[in-house]
Amino acid sequence: MSHSLLRSADLAKLHFSFEFFPPKSEEMEGQLWATIDDLAGWRPEFVSVTYGAGGSTRAPTLSTVRRLLAETALPTASHFTCVGASRDEVHQVVEDFRAAGVRHFVALRGDPAGGVGAAYQPHPGGYANAAELVAGLRSIDDFEISVSAYPEKHPESRDTAADIDMLKRKVDNGANRALTQFFFDNDVFERYLERVRAAGITIPIVPGIMPIQNLTQLKRFAGACGTTVPARLDERFEGLDDKPAERAAVAADVAAEQMADLVRRGIHEFHVYSMNRAPLVNETFARLGLTRKVAETTGAAA
């Protein structure tokens, strides 16, 4: 695909954020910081760092966030959960992150320590859900607060109406924006957005985009979090298991086409799940017609 998918007028309106996860080894740490240094050239609105099931990555998340704030000019948000902790414990962790310079949280209920699919039990002295956590954060300081949204509903929600009601509670308690679970059917997102707006929710609903690094792994993950993977993606990737260059090209095409279609539907802000890898994100953006602003970056890996 040699031509740009978007016109310059649309490109000028685009805004991005990138999501990273804390590294689990020295090798993965090197890859993360090389990725951050590479993707900084796109001048994201902010970057976020995830927080593991049951708060399991609190220390590496805080370490990663501290380094981002100290060594880069990237606006940095930390994911933050309330699972498995009392309110006092949550507040102490908030203070640790605030002392590190964090002013933006992605507030989530969080997965149980057993991971996605395990039974969730609120801590008896803690926040029961993300809406309560947002209120707690808002009571501590005037943080910027992002929350999650689910175009195909959260797997534990009774139905879409209950899911949107939870989003409204998060917004009523002070959320500034919602970042969605990844999806691949833009019609589903558009219908969801219509229902969200009809419920009186006016904050930005930012679609989460997942460039497909590995379709088989993605399907397993999507199944656990309730995301539908359309059969057309099987067709696009058929026969490419042993052809990494061709597979990467198709993955970039798929992500760029999805984003370009959303732009045509009036969306200009995206949250990109980087999976701590830059090449596929770079190829996707190139297909859209975006150009880097490298001269304005700081060199995160220096």
Which of 156, 203, 206, 167 has the alpha carbon at shortest distance from 183?
206
Query: Quick one: tokens of 276?
Result: 């701590």
- Helix, strand, coil shares, percent, the chain, to 5: 45, 15, 40
Is residue 19 part of the annotated active site? The answer reads yes
Using alpha carbons, select from 192, 189, 51, 158 the residue that is nearest to residue 108: 51
Q: What's the sign of the alpha-carbon dihedral 20, 22, 28, 32?
A: positive
Task: Choose the catalytic residue: 19, 132, 152, 283.
Answer: 19
d(CA 91, CA 106): 15
| 80's tokens | 């933050």
Asked whether 72 and 33 are in contact (CB, 8 A), the reply is no
Q: Which residues are catalytic?
A: 19
